[in-house]
Amino acid sequence: MTALPQTLRFTATDVTGTHTIEATDVQWDLPAGAVARSIASRMALPDGTPWGLRSDRTSTLLDDDIAIGDQIDSDTEITIFPRTHLGGC
């Protein structure tokens, strides 16, 4: 049997600093977008909002479609933020 993919652990904080969670056993090959949605659900953030992830170490925005393990290392810190745009007149 082929071994299961490795998993990651990291700390996620929402952009206001209100919620912080320790995520463990996150599959490294999950797309970052799916990880963002699961973190948002765990933090009870609104599910109608598109959420994105940012690496605190590099300030890089993670690509939703790329495996999270290809974008961050384990035992790192990330921030979840709403992918919304300010409106204007």
Partner 1 sequence: MSCLAERGDAPAWDGVLQGLGLRPDGDGYCGRRIRFRVRSGWGTFESNGAQRSDALRGQLGRPGLWKLCADERGALRGVFELPPSLLALAESHAARFQDLAGWALATAGGKLDRSWSPPTRAEVEGWLPDGALTLQVGAIARQAALILDDDRLMFRFPVVHEIPRSLSAARRAWLRELLVDAQNRWRLVRIGMNGSSEVQAQVDLTGAPHHALEELVQIGTDALRFVVASLVEPADFLVNGAAGCRAVELGPTGRSPKNKRRER
Q: Least distance from C-beta 28 to partner 1, angstroms?
A: 9
Q: Least distance from C-beta 15 to partner 1, angstroms?
A: 18
How far from the centroid of its chain's Cα atoms is residue 76's Cα? Answer: 11
Q: Which residues contact 41 (CB under 8 A, 6 or more apart)?
A: 47
Subset of residues 14 to 73 that bind partner 1, contact rule: CB under 8 A: 25-27, 29-31, 34-35, 37-39, 41-42, 67
Comparing C-alpha atoms, which of 27, 36, 80, 15 is closest to residue 54?
80
CB nearer to partner 1: give 1 or 86: 1
What size, in residues, is the chain?
89
Strands (E), 1-89: 7-14, 20-27, 51-55, 76-82
CB nearer to partner 1: give 1 or 89: 1
Q: Which residues bind partner 1 (CB under 8 A)?
A: 1-2, 4-5, 7, 25-27, 29-31, 34-35, 37-39, 41-42, 67
